[in-house]
Amino acid sequence: MAKILIIDENGVVRDALQVFLERDGHKVLAAADGPGGVRLFKAEAPDLIVLDKDVPALSGLQVLQKVRAQAPAIPVIVLTARDSARDGGPYQSSGAAAFLSKKDGLVGVLNEIDRLLAPARPLPPSPPPFSSPVLPPPAALPVTGRPRGLVMVVDDDDAILDTVGRFLASYGYEVLQYADGLSAVEAALVRPPAAIVLDISMPGKDGVAVLKELLPKLKNTGFIMLSGTGDETVAQACLKLGAYDYLTKPANLGSLETIVRACVAAAGRS
C-alpha cells in the first residue's frame, strides 16, 4: 500500500484520517505544522500528501510550492475548513490534485485518496465497491450485528462533528449528531443516549447549560465534555457537576472511544 503524509493542525482530523487509512493498509505519517510537514516530506518521500490550507508557521500554499519544487508529480490534496471547494484556484494552479472542504466530511477525502492512488497499485481481484469509513471492521460489531450503543455528539464545528461522528460509527456505535445545544437537549429527552460527547463552547445553549439541564433527567447517560485550551477550569467544574470525563481539543480519538465504551458499558449495567 501507499505511504501517505497528513499535514494538519487539527488533531481530530489527523487522528481520524490516520485510523481510516491504516485500516486500509497504508503507512501514515503526520505533522501538525508546515515546517514539520516539509521535513517529513523530504525525509520520507511519501506517495501522497493531505495538506490543510491553514497549517501554522508555513501556509498550505507555501508548503505546496516547496513540495512541487522537488516532486512535481506527487499528488497533493488540499483541505479547507472555511472556504468552499470553489476557492481552490490558487492551489490547483500550483499543482494541487484536489481542493476539498472539511465541511463535506472525510468520506470525500478518502474517496479522492483512493482515486489518486488507484493507478499506482494493482487492483485486488473482485474488489467490493468503496463505500464509507463509517462501516466498522468485522470485529467492531457484536455477533448479533446490533449497534454497540447510542452515542450523541454535539459540536458547532462541522468538521469536528463529522469526524468524531464517523469515527465512533466505525466502531459500531449508533451516532446522533447535533450542531447546537437546544436541538441536542430535545433529542436526548426523546431518546436518551448511553453517552453524549459535548462541546463546552457553543453559541446559544452551551455545553455547560446542556449538562445542567440533562444530568437530572438522564441518570444513565455519561457526559464527555470537549474543552478548548482556555476551557479547562470550566471542564473541571463540569466534572464536579457530574460529567463522566473531559478531553481537551484536539482530542485523541482513541482516548475518546475508550471513554465512550466505558459510558456505554456503565449504561448497560444500570
Best CA proximity match to 79, nearest among 169, 179, 159, 1:
159
- Other Cβ atoms less than 10 A from the Cβ of 73: the count is 6
Residue 40 has pLDDT above 80, yes or no: yes
Condensed to tens digits (0 to 9), the pLDDT of residues 170-213 reads 899 999 999 999 999 999 999 999 999 999 999 889 999 999 99
Domain presence at residue 134 = no
Please identify which residue in the block is written with the cell numbers 516532486: 71
Cα 140-142-144 angle, rounded to 5 deg:
140
Confidence bin at 18 (pLDDT 50/70/90): confident
Cα 81-49-253 angle, rounded to 5 deg:
60
The answer to whether 70 touches 42, Cβ cutoff 8 Å, is: yes
3-state helix vs strand vs coil in the chain, percent to 5: 45, 20, 35
Residues 107 and 215 in one domain: no
Domain presence at residue 84 = yes
**pLDDT value, residue 134:** 39
Q: Cα separation of 65 and 42, whole Å?
A: 13
Q: Which of 47-56, 159-168, 185-194, 230-239 has the lowest average pLDDT?
A: 230-239
Residues 231 and 258 in one domain: yes
- Other Cβ atoms less than 10 A from the Cβ of 199: the count is 25
Which residues are CB-contacts of 49 (< 8 A; sequence separation ≥ 6)?
4, 5, 6, 7, 37, 41, 67, 74, 75, 76, 77
**Which residue did the predictor score with more confidence, 37 or 147?**
37
Confidence bin at 243 (pLDDT 50/70/90): very high
Residues 79 and 174 in one domain: no
Number of domains forming the structure of the chain: 2
Domain presence at residue 113 = yes
Highest average pLDDT, of 35-44, 116-125, 232-241, comes from 35-44
Boundary residue ending a domain (120, 147, 165): 120
Which residues are CB-contacts of 180 (< 8 A; sequence separation ≥ 6)?
154, 156, 202, 203, 204, 205
**pLDDT value, residue 192:** 96
Residues 159 and 94 in one domain: no
Residue 157 has pLDDT above 80, yes or no: yes
Domain presence at residue 129 = no
Residues 262 and 183 in one domain: yes
Boundary residue ending a domain (120, 148, 179): 120
What is the extent of the structural domain holding 17? 3-120
Domain presence at residue 133 = no
**pLDDT value, residue 143:** 36
pTM reported for the whole predicted model? 0.62
Confidence bin at 83 (pLDDT 50/70/90): low
Assign residue 204 the CATH number of its domain: 3.40.50.2300
Domain presence at residue 262 = yes
Domain presence at residue 130 = no
Residues 208 and 112 in one domain: no
Confidence bin at 141 (pLDDT 50/70/90): very low
Residues 96 and 202 in one domain: no
Which residues are CB-contacts of 58 (< 8 A; sequence separation ≥ 6)?
33, 34, 35, 37, 38, 66
Boundary residue ending a domain (120, 152, 170): 120
H/E element holding 241?
helix 232-241
**pLDDT value, residue 62:** 92
Residues 48 and 150 in one domain: no
Residues 163 and 203 in one domain: yes
The answer to whether 176 touches 193, Cβ cutoff 8 Å, is: yes
- Strand, coil or helix: 54: coil
The answer to whether 60 touches 10, Cβ cutoff 8 Å, is: no
**pLDDT value, residue 133:** 38
Strand partners, 150: 174
Confidence bin at 254 (pLDDT 50/70/90): confident
Relative orientation angle of helices 34-44 and 60-70, to the nearest 10 degrees: 20
Alpha-carbon dihedral angle through residues 112, 117, 122, 127, given to the nearest 10 degrees: -20
Mean pLDDT of 107-127: 71
Residues 144 and 115 in one domain: no
Residues 104 and 153 in one domain: no
Domain presence at residue 126 = no
**pLDDT value, residue 270:** 58
Residues 146 and 205 in one domain: yes
* Cross-sheet strand order for the sheet of 27-31: 27-31, 3-7, 48-52, 76-80, 98-101
Residue 137 has pLDDT above 50, yes or no: no
Mean pLDDT of 149-166: 91
**pLDDT value, residue 181:** 95
